[in-house]
Structure 1
Amino acid sequence: MRLPARLAFVSTLLAAAAATAVAQPSDLAQQNAQRAIEAASRVQERASRAQETSAAAQERAGRVLDLPARAAEAASAGLRMASRDNVPAFASAQFARFRDLVRSHEQVLELVDRFPAVRGEIVAIDPAPGALDTARKHGLAIVNDETVEGIDTRYVTFRVPAGESLQKAVAELQRIAPETRFTANYIHVQSGSSSSARAKARLAISSEVTAPAIGIIDGGVAESVLLPKLNQRGFAAGAPLPNAHGTAVASLAAGTGRIKSGSPGAPLLIADVYGNDPKGGNSLALARALGWMAERKVPVVVVSLVGPANPIVASAIEKVQAQGMLVVAPVGNGGPAAPPMYPAAYPNVVGVTGVDSRNRALVEAGRGDHVDFAAPGANILAVGRNGALVRVRGTSFAAPLVAGRAWRASGAGRVAALVRESEDLGRSGPDPVFGRGLVCGSCR
């Protein structure tokens, strides 16, 4: 099989995994996605070996598989999958995942410009005088009015009348009250998979954490002897609740023993924004979690989630950054042609991609100017939902390694410390595939 055909097969496997992920229970979906991605990676590995049998083939592998100077363009072309609209497979699968998530929870979620959001909810951020009356006159009812401590921001949530388009209602409110920011309450999803088996899990016992901790905004963390002292709080219905993804992320930030984490033994502050809530991962939950982190003076927080740009999370991140907090996030698994994912693409957020055991960028990883650093993101050990060790893959699991490394530095020097540690990959200097280079290369 020629190289483009092999890459098309890789993209087909990964697209199938991502597109079906939300139609099943979350842990089982993650297992199936992981198996498909691993199978695709083995195909990629065999293709690489076969191509290395001649000098010409080796050059082609260097251009396409090892992703140096022209990697983003080559990978995007190689992974392009034949379809009616000719959309690259990973990006197409990513939006299929969003669509299927909404279909699974149609009573509480809807699509807004291809992204999931809480059905019928519009949020006003620090509304100007008169904006609330204007919204009421247009048939919107206030369902919640709160000020989030730590970021000192007021959020007023309105309910859109049944049958009215949420997207059109937001646009109309923004037109008639331009001095106030109005937005849908968008959903963020986890960006990685593990081979964790479904099993009953016990929630990790919260302890009082007084020292500056690494903050994690994700799912709840399960009990494990490999995890350090931690404190967790829920920001969704049923939270905190043990979560395979959240537990793995926490273990890679500060796990001990066989876990090669970014900062072994560092205290953790866990914000569970999922619980068992179908609206879990919404923007208001992230803003509340960031406010809590700010109140607790967390110096570094990792948000191993992806979603669309929205002013709720953007403004909350601006507020915590102004207080000195460093925010780290994965660039996502939508592939080379996917649009930038957030929060990684917000200004001054450290965007992290993942590499495999040969320091090749994950074929499913996002690309772009928002990629700041790379870290191991394939076939690495983490703690699973049942407390056992599992293999994980995805940019979600590279991000906590970088966050752990940043936590070990101090103050304004955290990013500089990452730069000093980084090993340049790909073309010389920063690039859209590896950013400034590999951090925590020994963390595998």
Structure 2
Amino acid sequence: MAGVAMVALPAAAMPQIGLPSLPTPRGGIDGLARPLLDTLDLDRLSPDAVARQLRSARLDRLTGFVRTHRDRVEFDAVRAPALRGVLLATGVAGADRARAIAAGYRIIDEEVIAELDLTFVRFALPEGLPLGKAQRQLAALMPAAEIAADNLYFPSGGLPPAASLGALAAAQTGGPGGARIGLIDSGVGPLPGLSARVVQKGFATGAPRAGDHGTAVAALALGAAGSGSALYAADVYGTDATGGTASAIARALGWLSGQQAAVINISLVGPDNALVHAAIARAQAKGALIVAAVGNDGPAAPPAFPAAQFGVLAVTGVDTSGRVLPEAGRGKHVAFAAPGRSLAPAAGGGKSVTVRGTSFAAPLVAGRLAQLYPAPAPGRIETAVRGLIGQARDLGRKGRDPVYGHGLVCGDCGR
């Protein structure tokens, strides 16, 4: 099979932990200062040591991120980072709304995502009320509604810090009848050597803005899908260090549904957020297949979302020998494996780099799935997924297992 087309990236990446790092003053998804743990060789550690290091890193880095942005971010009820002082609610009835206002909550705005027939209300919290306590209180005041913080989602495989790539990918003319692939990530930079129609839209301050992570993910997806595909890239980060919010992802899913994206790749991880959950479920009902990375918090970590949501195709990463990456998540939700190490797109000036992480395995599965499912058609979903299962090479225990899912897809991609 043909390899994945080359894309401009910065210097070589070490094993990725996939947790929020401390942004540099420049901000944005690519403005991440990489902590010491990112330089550890996870492949040389014992499984117990990997689990300990990742658990400690996750707590330290989440705490550090919230502390750095304490004017804009706080922990929610499940200790996940979210925008400070804001709650989101779906299914809000009139009487519930009145009770919330009487208790001191203020309606900031009400937004309709028309493509998904989804409406949510944004509430400001009473002065001085912590977010976690407010979530519980508002849920009691509005028992018929679904209450969520505006959580932040982070890439499940990073790249070294780099200046913005500058120019966005130019819209090109794809071949007739090509696959329609959606991407929720950073913006996408130039994609030399790929024949694809690229359309981008921003859902954050300064977006769309080309980013290294989104560009790499886009190149891998399009290379695996083959020539003539169309890429619809939703940038949920832009230049905002606290981008990647649940509300931005929900809006992005609405736009991608309206663009008739058949397969949507989300190489991001976060908590099980009610608004994101509802947006994904409605996009699925309209025929979208969602592919997501399982994350790099290690085998002992709880399942990451949206990969763990029902109906989402969760993808893990393997090395060149077909062994699961030690940092990859595990669980019954794992659907497929794909190469996640030693992927070697080219950098500018003829240089080459390697990238690693489940972020980069997921788009390989999304690209191959798009070959089987090029346009939304709910009646063809089962056939397409069964076709991909038929392509998978069984790894680990016989049959589907919580480490490799149905097996390895696109095993020779990205090399």
What TM-score range do you get, normalising by the shorter chain?
0.7 to 0.9
- The equivalences for 1:9-408 within 5 A come to 21-22=21-22, 24=24, 27=30, 29=32, 36-37=39-40, 39-41=41-43, 43=44, 75=47, 77=48, 79-80=50-51, 88-112=52-76, 113-194=78-159, 197-198=162-163, 200-206=165-171, 212-227=179-194, 228-255=196-223, 261-382=224-345, 389-408=352-371
Q: Distance in 1 between matches of 2:364 and 2:292?
A: 11
> Mean alpha-carbon deviation: is it higher for 405-414 or for 419-428?
405-414
**Alpha-carbon deviation of 1:136?**
0.9
**Alpha-carbon deviation of 1:434?**
0.6
Q: Does 1:442 align with 2:405?
A: no
| Residues 283-336 of structure 1 deviation map (CA, whole Å, 9 limit, x = unaligned) | 111110101111111111001100000110111111011111100000000001
Question: Do the aligned partners of residues 392 and 33 (structure 1) sit closer, same or farther apart at CA in structure 2, a change above 3 Å counting?
Answer: farther
Q: Please say if residues 196 and 384 of structure 1, whose CA atoms lie closer than 8 Å, have aligned partners that are also in contact.
A: no
| Residues 112-132 of structure 1 deviation map (CA, whole Å, 9 limit, x = unaligned) | 122110111011113122222
Q: Distance in 2 between matches of 1:107 and 1:95?
A: 20
Question: Do the aligned partners of residues 319 and 189 (structure 1) sit closer, same or farther apart at CA in structure 2, a change above 3 Å counting?
Answer: same
Give the unaligned 5+ runs of structure 1: 1-12, 45-63, 65-74, 81-87, 256-260
Seq. identity, %: 41
TM-score, normalised to structure 2, is 0.86
Letter in 2 for 1:116: P
Letter in 2 for 1:364: E
Q: Distance in 2 between matches of 1:217 and 1:135?
A: 33
**Alpha-carbon deviation of 1:200?**
4.7
| Residues 372-396 of structure 1 deviation map (CA, whole Å, 9 limit, x = unaligned) | 1100001102366999753110001
Q: Distance in 2 between matches of 1:22 and 1:215?
A: 28
Q: Distance in 2 between matches of 1:159 and 1:329?
A: 31
Q: Distance in 1 between matches of 2:352 and 2:221?
A: 15
Q: Distance in 1 between matches of 2:123 and 2:289?
A: 31
Q: Please say if residues 222 and 386 of structure 1, whose CA atoms lie closer than 8 Å, have aligned partners that are also in contact.
A: no
SS of equivalent to 2:21: helix
Letter in 2 for 1:243: G
Letter in 2 for 1:419: I
Give the unaligned 5+ runs of structure 2: 1-13, 374-379
Q: Please say if residues 306 and 331 of structure 1, whose CA atoms lie closer than 8 Å, have aligned partners that are also in contact.
A: yes
SS of equivalent to 1:347: coil
TM-score, normalised to structure 1, is 0.81
| Residues 223-258 of structure 1 deviation map (CA, whole Å, 9 limit, x = unaligned) | 231343200000011000011111110000003xxx
> Mean alpha-carbon deviation: is it higher for 188-197 or for 410-419?
188-197
Give me the CA root mean square deviation. Answer: 2.6
2:396 to 405, 422, 426: 426
Question: Do the aligned partners of residues 219 and 393 (structure 1) sit closer, same or farther apart at CA in structure 2, a change above 3 Å counting?
Answer: same
**Alpha-carbon deviation of 1:167?**
1.2
Q: Does 1:409 align with 2:369?
A: no
Q: Please say if residues 31 and 197 of structure 1, whose CA atoms lie closer than 8 Å, have aligned partners that are also in contact.
A: no
**Alpha-carbon deviation of 1:263?**
3.5
**Alpha-carbon deviation of 1:271?**
0.2
Provide the residue aligned with 1:67 in structure 2: none
Q: Please say if residues 309 and 343 of structure 1, whose CA atoms lie closer than 8 Å, have aligned partners that are also in contact.
A: yes
**Alpha-carbon deviation of 1:198?**
4.0
Q: Please say if residues 149 and 292 of structure 1, whose CA atoms lie closer than 8 Å, have aligned partners that are also in contact.
A: no
Structure with bigger RCO (C-alpha 8 Å, 6+ apart): 2
Q: Distance in 2 between matches of 1:269 and 1:243?
A: 15
Letter in 2 for 1:237: T
SS of equivalent to 2:359: helix
Q: Distance in 2 between matches of 1:369 and 1:266?
A: 31
Q: Please say if residues 269 and 295 of structure 2, whose CA atoms lie closer than 8 Å, have aligned partners that are also in contact.
A: yes
SS of equivalent to 1:223: coil
Question: Do the aligned partners of residues 369 and 328 (structure 1) sit closer, same or farther apart at CA in structure 2, a change above 3 Å counting?
Answer: same
